[in-house]
């Protein structure tokens, strides 16, 4: 393990442990009171050690995952796991059912075909899998439309052997990046109001609905205080990125892509070895830390071209820290986090759920 930041081979991901732990504590404190609890989303960091710290901080009812692979990686922690996605195809439901032998597993459905596949796997494994009916609350991605079709699907789940209807989920992802706080609050409350109203329709129909799950980092303190919402699936708060950094959120930037300057061809620019194979640009180009006026102007496969202010002293071999615009896909490009305290490397954490681990050497990560 490298001893100092300067010893880390680049490009690499580094996480400031103290900043990350402060973020974890802030979010846990918010959900330590009131009827709503936190179910941190693993897809943001894909790292068991970070999930362990989130659970240890309190205020949690379990973990949220986007893929079965993520669920398999964090399953040894023993927490309840919500797969906030529809598991369809290639044995995904059988893998979930295997996990349900040792812990609570809940999955989202929005179709009859999804119900049938999940139920078949549960019966083959001799387990019961919890189900949340996924409701479209405005993002226009997955989710059945609110109303009679959602009630019908929920009733089908409730009457299907191998499954247990636990409630509803709906993700107001279209609202998360809205910069204006008042607009974000209005739209988030409207979306969660639809979800809570749908929960009441289920109860009026005599169906169980103990869980009403939604929310994210951008709306945690809005959706998390809507009466009737029982849990929030926030994830990016633990590390943050420049996109969420535009919002009025009380969380710190806690991770960076570390690169090395490999070229200083003229006084106005340098090039570092951390291109878009090391940091994504789907939410915009990354920002440069600790060098006022420096701007990333291009990302190529292996190169980050940085425009420099007059008098910048960066030389070939110097290190640069880039602040990613989007946490999840950037982390997905790396195998490990280098956990740092100041200039010291204190640990190396495998990002074990990155990519699709089930394809590695023909075996799933356990």
> Tens of pLDDT along 83-103?
999 999 889 999 999 999 999
| β-pair type (63-65, 81-83) | parallel
Residue of 51 and 365 predicted with greater confidence: 51
Residue 360 lies in a domain: no
169 falls within a domain:
yes
Residue 317 lies in a domain: yes
Cα radius of gyration (the chain): 22
Q: How confident is the model at residue 359 (pLDDT cuts 50, 70, 90)?
A: confident
Enclosing domain of residue 143:
17-240
Going by the DSSP 8-state scheme, the letter that residue 352 receives in this structure is: T
Whether 156 is in a domain gets the answer yes
Residues 117 and 190 in one domain: yes
Q: Which of 308, 305, 302 is nearest to 290 (CA)?
A: 308
190 and 307 belong to one structural domain: no
| Confidence at 362, pLDDT banded by 50, 70, 90 | low
Residue 285 CA to residue 290 CA, distance in Å, equals 16
| Residue 17 clears pLDDT 90, i.e. is over it | yes
* Residue 184 maps to a domain: yes
What pLDDT, on a 0 to 100 scale, did the predictor assign at position 358? Answer: 85
Lookup: tokens for 181: 């706080």
- Residue 363: is its pLDDT beyond 70? no
Q: What is the DSSP string of 199-221?
A: HHHHHHTT----EEEE--GGGHH
Write the Ramachandran bin of 273: left for phi over 0, alpha for psi from -120 to 50, otherwise beta.
Answer: alpha
The tens digit of pLDDT for each residue in 106-134 reads 999 999 999 999 999 999 999 999 999 99
Alpha-carbon distance of 80 to 64, in angstroms, equals 9
Give CA 188 to chain center in angstroms: 19
In degrees, to the nearest 5, what angle opens at C-alpha 33 toward C-alphas 30 and 36? 85
Spatial distance between the Cα atoms of 283 and 302, rounded to a whole number of angstroms: 19
Co-location of 256 and 236 in the same domain: no
Is the same domain home to 232 and 281?
A: no
Burial of 319 per CB tally in 10 Å (0-12, 13-18, 19+): middle
184-228 pLDDT tens trace: 999 999 999 999 999 999 999 999 999 999 999 999 999 999 999
Q: What is the pLDDT of residues 248-283, one digit of tens each?
A: 999 999 999 999 999 999 999 999 999 999 999 999
**Are the C-beta atoms of 230 and 36 separated by less than 8 Å?**
yes
Tell me how many domains the chain contains.
Answer: 2
Coil, helix or strand for 80? coil
Do 260 and 282 reside in the same domain of the chain? yes
Same domain, 290 and 343: yes
Which pLDDT belongs to residue 82? 98
pTM of structure: 0.96
Which stretches of 114-246 are assigned E, i.e. beta strand? 129-134, 163-170, 211-214, 231-232
pLDDT exceeds cutoff 60 at 366: no
């Amino acid at each position: 393990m490298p001893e100092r930041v300067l010893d880390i081979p680049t490009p690499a991901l580094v996480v400031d442990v103290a900043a990350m732990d402060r973020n974890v504590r802030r979010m846990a404190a918010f959900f330590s009171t009131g009827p709503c609890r936190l179910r941190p989303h693993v897809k943001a960091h894909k790292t068991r050690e970070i999930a362990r710290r989130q659970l240890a901080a309190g205020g949690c009812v379990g973990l949220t995952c986007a893929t079965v692979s993520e669920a398999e990686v964090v399953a040894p922690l023993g927490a309840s796991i919500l797969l906030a996605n529809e598991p369809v195809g290639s044995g995904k439901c059988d893998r979930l059912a295997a996990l349900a032998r040792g812990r609570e597993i809940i999955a989202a459905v929005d179709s009859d075909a999804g119900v049938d596949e999940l139920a078949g796997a549960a019966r083959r494994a001799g387990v019961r899998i919890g189900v949340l009916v996924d409701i479209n609350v405005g993002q226009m991605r997955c989710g059945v439309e609110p109303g009679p079709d959602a009630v019908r699907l929920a009733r089908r789940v409730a009457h299907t052997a191998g499954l247990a209807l636990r409630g509803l989920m709906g993700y107001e992802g279209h609202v998360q990046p809205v910069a204006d706080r008042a607009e974000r609050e209005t739209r988030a409350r409207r979306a969660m109001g639809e979800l809570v109203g749908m929960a009441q329709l289920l109860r009026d129909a005599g169906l169980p609905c103990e869980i009403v799950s939604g929310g994210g980092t951008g709306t945690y303190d809005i959706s998390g205080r809507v009466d009737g919402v029982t849990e929030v699936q926030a994830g990016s708060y633990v590390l943050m990125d420049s996109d969420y950094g535009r919002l009025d959120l009380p969380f710190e930037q806690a991770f960076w892509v570390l690169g090395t300057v490999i070229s200083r061809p003229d006084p106005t620019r340098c090039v570092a070895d951390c291109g878009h194979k090391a940091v994504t640009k789907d939410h915009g180009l990354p920002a440069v830390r600790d060098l006022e006026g420096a701007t990333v102007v291009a990302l190529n496969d292996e190169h980050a071209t940085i425009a420099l202010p007059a008098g910048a002293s960066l030389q070939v071999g110097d290190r640069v820290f880039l602040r990613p615009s989007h946490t999840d896909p950037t982390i997905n490009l790396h195998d490990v986090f280098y956990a740092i305290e100041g200039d010291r490397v204190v640990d190396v954490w495998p990002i074990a759920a990155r990519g699709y681990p089930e394809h590695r050497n023909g075996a799933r990560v356990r």
